[in-house]
Amino acid sequence: MVKRTRYAEWKDSYEHYKFELSPEGILFMQCHTDGGPLQWMWESHDRMSDAFADIAGDRDGIKCVIHTGTGDSYNALWGKPVTADEKPLYHAYGDAEGVEVMDEKSWFGRMIIENLLAINVPMIAAVNGPCTMHSEVPLLMDIVLAAEEAYFQDLSHFPRGMVPGDGQHVVWDALVGPSRSRYFLFTGYELSAKEAKEWGVVHEVLAKEKLLDRAWDIAREIAKRPPIVNRNTKYVLTQSLRRAFASELHHGLQAEMWGQRQFFPFGAGMQGLDRPWDQKPWSD
């Protein structure tokens, strides 16, 4: 939820997100876990929505945002794989406590999108490596650069038994059309950076060592414009995405929450199911 903020107040508030604001007004946002690639866990998931809200509410010095990952991965790591003797949180969905927990996670999922779209300055995604979950985050940014070794894949939903409701059902349809979107989401297709450029998802593919330099070059050029011009240009150019998410995001998240009553995330992190969903390693 966006409110008026100041960079100095929140810049050091996030365990998984490092911020630096350049003299030109370029905010560099680097996702990480303990200085290495970002690991998705409830903490990093929920705090991303808060971080985007803080950025959106800061109208004083931010003229452009560069958003990137750390090391060899943009966000292809899951923080806590489920083991054979562990009952997943989602399996408690039928209980009142489970419903409440998952309703809150659905809210945070919605806030990631809404707060990201509320950032009214141009954003540049520098996808430094594989992105196998929450690809809606970089792809909703205005300019998407990718390293040659980067690829996009939605492993965290249908391949392991979940409805792709975290905005995947909206952003891929909007960017590549319904036919490609269905194929990508149903099969867990690994879309290389080169092919992503051909699909119109990525704008430039670069050698990894040149990725951030190119992002900074573009950001410095954008930052030369008057702040009101930057903000209002961003606003008018993202109206179609705002409308699409306003129409489709909530019911997609609810379908995902409902589907989690039979969700079975057994296996190595983001890998697909290694057995039918109802062959559980525990007894109820």
Active-site annotation, residues: 136
State the chain's maximal CA–CA distance in angstroms.
Answer: 62
Residues 6+ apart with CB under 8 A from 96: none
User: What sign has the CA pseudo-torsion 172, 169, 247, 101?
Assistant: negative
Distance CA 196, CA 215 (A): 18
DSSP state of 282: S
Distance CA 246, CA 167 (A): 11
For residues 55 and 112, is the Cβ–Cβ distance under 8 A? no
Residue 30 pairs in a beta bridge with 18, 68
For residues 118 and 175, is the Cβ–Cβ distance under 8 A? no
Q: What length is written for the chain? A: 284
For residues 55 and 14, is the Cβ–Cβ distance under 8 A? no
DSSP state of 81: P
Does residue 151 sit in helix, strand or coil? strand
Residue by residue, what is the 3-state secondary structure of 192-231? EHHHHHHHCCCCEEECHHHHHHHHHHHHHHHHCCCHHHHH
Structure tokens that stand for 71 in this block: 């090391």
CA distances to 104, 122, 182, 265 from 238, in Å? 27, 10, 23, 35
